[in-house]
A = this chain, B = another copy of it.
């Protein structure tokens, strides 16, 4: 998606440790007009697939998930990284290592928010090693629901997670795929 690629080139910043800082458009500050355009792009790809719910992880995935869910006319659900006092009852959970935060999280979704008849679109702002999407897919599997695919704003193609998930049969649609950002130069995959 050209609009997103331009925004990444103009406003993104490559930090140490393969971290792409896009805080002014997607994470910390949310460029809502850009994300709305991205949600339209995602909905065009997954049109007619009978999606009943959008599933993401707190925190920065929520903006993408809500804007996509709004256009699809369905609810969004976000997995939490810890069980808080406003969660009661049984939960699904799956482990997930965050390379950005360098720690192991357990993603938690109360069982009551996923039905076994749900057709679920996973959504997130970033996909790198694919840990979060894999954990969310595992939660969908536990619930006996169907994972229709994964919608991602920015995929770090060079970290391989997206291609591994595609090879395993998941329809992973990313609005921009970065194939290299060595020496601070961002190179996009031709889509």
Given A58-B58, A63-B62, CB of A86 within 8 Å of CB of B23? yes
Copies in the complex: 2
Q: Is A112's CB within 8 Å of the partner chain B?
A: yes
**Would B21 and A70 count as touching, CB distance under 8 A?**
no
Q: Convert A8-43 into 0s and 1s, putting 1 for each residue whose CB lies closer than 8 angstroms to a CB of B.
A: 000001010101110110011111110110000000
- Determine the chain B residues whose CB is within 8 A of the CB of A117 once the complex forms: none
Rounded to whole angstroms, the CA-CA distance of A72 and B27 in the bound complex is 19
Interface size class of A (residues with CB under 8 A): 35 or more
**Most B-side CB within 10 Å, residue of A32, A33, A73, A77:** A32
Question: Which chain B residues lie closer than 8 Å to A95 at the CB level?
Answer: none
Question: Could you tell me if A88 and B15 are in contact, using CB atoms closer than 8 angstroms?
Answer: yes
| Distance A30 CA – B68 CA, assembled complex (angstroms) | 12
Task: Among B19, B58, B101, B113, point to the contact of A23 (Cβ < 8 A).
Answer: B113
- A109 lies within 8 A of B28 (CB): yes
Q: How far is A76 from B35 in the complex, measured between Cα atoms in Å?
A: 11
> Could you pull out 24 A-B pairs where Cβ atoms are within 8 angstroms?
A13-B88, A15-B86, A15-B88, A19-B85, A20-B86, A21-B87, A23-B87, A23-B110, A23-B113, A28-B109, A29-B77, A30-B62, A30-B65, A30-B69, A30-B78, A31-B75, A58-B60, A59-B80, A62-B62, A63-B66, A66-B67, A84-B100, A84-B101, A86-B100
Residue numbers of A with Cβ under 8 A of B are: 13, 15, 17, 19-21, 23-24, 27-33, 35-36, 58-60, 62-63, 65-67, 69-70, 73-78, 80, 84-88, 100-102, 109-110, 112-113
